[in-house]
Structure 1
Amino acid sequence: MNSRSESAGVRLATDRLRLRPGRVGDAVVHRELWAERDPRVPPHRRIDADGRPTLRDLEDSLRSGPQASGLGLLAVELRDDGRTVGYCGLVEGGPGSAALDGQPPGPEIAFELLSRAQGQGYATEAARAVVEWSRREGLERLHATVWSWNSPSLRVLEKLGFEETARTSPDGASGDMVVVTLEL
């Protein structure tokens, strides 16, 4: 694996994947991700009755560029054909960002792949690249928040050594949110 930081952001590579800063053209993939989301995902994270977010909304979001600091969310691209199949990276905040054991949980690792790219180990490979980048950058801890019914994502995080540290029930409709952490 190798990485390089540039003015355009961090880029990571694995045997099968490239992780790169998002481009406006990736909005099509983001829109498909929104459309594919499980109906148990809270409504504000799915396409609403008015069709929002629209492709244009997502393009505008990507146009605003990567986070000012840190890794941000990177597009996950297949090395063999260049297709973008999702995203993976680090974000600040979120439902699991409260201090754990008096310690800040660190950035949140987040990943989402198109359904046609799932079940092939890409999420684990991409998330592993992000964890290794985090270690090299001197981060001390990462966390993730995952709905308890999302077994595939929980398995990815378990493979990487994340351990459950808390559970919350942010709303009755979506079930429990599992908070997992990884000490780096």
Structure 2
Amino acid sequence: MKRWLPLGIFALIVAVVAWGLWRPADRTVRSALVGRALPDFTLPAIAPGKPGLSSADFRQGKPRLLNVFASWCVPCIAEAPQLMTLKAAGIPIDAIAIKDTPGDIAAFLRRNGDPYARIGADAHSRVQLALGSSGVPETFVVDGTGVIRAQHVGDIRPEDVPELMQALAAAQ
């Protein structure tokens, strides 16, 4: 019986490794702030003709989307049509531009459309990190009292639009 113990242990290790490879873990970093108020922040304007952004803007009684993006982000370009669809549906969208310049943001908006009411400049990613955002793009559903109700990690795809609209309706 003792002769088979090493073989049994080896088989168990192989089974655990195979199971881990077959079913990899979700490595998406979720914000711990879902269900909690936005951190206090005030960001200067970065886009010509658009105001900057502050946490107080989200306490106006109406749910909004908060999109964390950058002009240098390829998935941000891919999600631009979906953001324009949400804007056309009457969804208010604000943004935080990460490590960007006014000229690059203006060019990005000219090329890809401008769904944003306000855009704040987060040159050092301080607000992004305070939100628990791990990268760009990320979108948060914020209710009218400034509480984060949902988080969408990655670019918004056409099949994600109804889900975001439902989350906004639930945040009323």
Bigger strand fraction: 1
Same fold (TM over 0.5): no
Considering only CA atoms, is the larger Rg found in Structure 1 or Structure 2? 2
TM-score by length of 1: 0.27
Greater RCO structure (CA 8 Å; 6+ sep): 2
